[in-house]
Structure 1
Amino acid sequence: MTASSTRRSTAVRSRIAAVGAIAVAGTLLLTGCGDQTKSKNNDSGSGSASAAAPLADKLPASIRQAGIIKVGSDIAYAPVEFKDGAGKTVGMDPDLADAMGKQLGVKFQFENGTFDALLTGIRSKRYDIAMSAMTDNKSRQEGVDPDSGKKVGEGVDFVDYLTAGVSIYTRKGDTGGISTWSDLCGKKLAVERGTVSEDLAKSETKKCTGGKKITIEAFDDDQQAQTRLRSGGADAASSDFPVAAYAVKTSGGGKDFQLVGDQVEAAPYGIAVAKGNNQLRDALQAAMDAVIKSGEYQKILAKWGAEDGAVKESVINGGK
């Protein structure tokens, strides 16, 4: 999900867009196994491999022959990836994957999993990649637990494709005096487990004084965190800006939540690829660059209200 060294170190998993631009259309923690069920109703691919695809020869032969790239994703993070009313996987990431698939001649097959287990899924070869509003940061690149600073895995490479920041939101008309992260001291905050929002909250609570710590309630997905806030079980919630803004716009017809304060620590979203899988990584970068240059990238971002986070080119491991 997003952020700097923290669905996403202690920086943030994020996305940048103006609140008015969010239309209604629109972690490296290696713990937990969560729901790993396949998204059966996903149509976000381009079909079988095609010789007409201009970048097909850049893919590893095994993937080119299979015609499929298996994508681990937390499909509960609207508007980036989520299920629509018919159960189909939709959102900004699936649309971008579809456009990349046309360049590569393969289908991107999205499979649902809890965010904090996606990188483990890459290591176990359950997935070829993870594409899930994941913030590219050094801890994930190097396989380091942001809490302990200890090496916990091989790390991954990222193909960056968007810039985003983290936001706080509350129940509408009930901000509790919260406008900055320091205002959360003594409050309850709902977040998705393994995200930059959780990492940032852990970092911020160390700064609290007078015994007023932040009570962090971490859930398997962002929708559960929203439900907790909506029911009054938390004082605030936090997620990447596009997701927070989408929740504010759509939940309860716009009557449930409101954004408070500014989004913080903008950082790149990246597609995660296993270390050493350089051919796949470079093929994905070439495909993303082609989508950007074609103009389709900008159209997709505008469709989901994320155009302010657009990048001019895809880079490898641009996170800090």
Structure 2
Amino acid sequence: MITIPYLTALTTYFSYGLLFAFGQFRDLFRKIFDWWSANNLQGYASICLGLEDFYVRRLYLRIQYCFGRLIASAPDAWFDVVERYSNDNNKTLKRATNITRCLNLGSYNYLGTTVLHTDLEECVAKFVGKSAAVVFGMGYVTNSTILPVLIGKGGLIISDSLNHNSIVKGAQGSGATIRVFSHNTPPHLEEVLREQIAEGQPRTHRPWKKIIVVVEGIYRMEGELCKLPEITAICKKYKAYIYLDEAHSIGAVGKTGRGVCELLGVDPADVDVMMGTFTKSFGSCGGYIAGSKELIQYLKYTCPAHLYANINLTTSCSTDYICHRSYS
């Protein structure tokens, strides 16, 4: 845990407070001016209240140039940035004649995966003990878009009652039947599995096309470790797949930071789908799915989060950390 110096925290809050105060004073004078001037919209309510766009008007406009950069080339690893200037406090930006060659650290590019992403995926797979991996630009999206690809109508998802909202939304969007077992209670999981296998699909009572049990490595609000050895044994017994979310456990537990499998002595081969994020222990952004080569190839061809979205290049800063832990 990183401790922020009191002086840094206080000066930061003071700066925000100062900007807010000056913005409020300027809004007050604007209201007085508008009241004094003629109003051609008598009887109409204001489309936008003062505080609704306060951040944009008084804070963001002053730094918008930092985020809205104009480029004059393809959004590749390197691109040409057009310099701009403003004569009205950044309300409008005018194009200058200078063009600067810059490194792209975060831009949409649908033309393919970079070498850095491939290196990161290989490092992730080796780190968690799987054959292959695929990385995504956001951890929440990783869960919410992967589950609908893995399972659909005629399938059964058995989810821990305290699973993260991203898992819940992914399960709901899959079209599969959803059943919940008591939080971190293997006996109840076995009871639900046995009952559902015996009953089969609703109405038709046909066998389930697929059964996936979804758990987390460490439950974020409770700080509680998943009883993975017992759950793994039950899933093996009933031929159910295991989906393990390690957003809060990967990099944090285990002798070398490889998560709950390492900590609890579970063979990664016994976990079919291993999900994790870079936003916690790795101090970066994005998420990943690790599994068999066949699974990862299938996900790359079918998952919308991979096909229709970009992968932020800042995710690759996790590579050094993961590779260091993998090879040391």
- What is the TM-score normalised by the length of structure 1? 0.27
Question: Which structure is richer in relative contact order (CA contacts within 8 A, separation 6 or more)?
Answer: 1
Larger Rg: 2
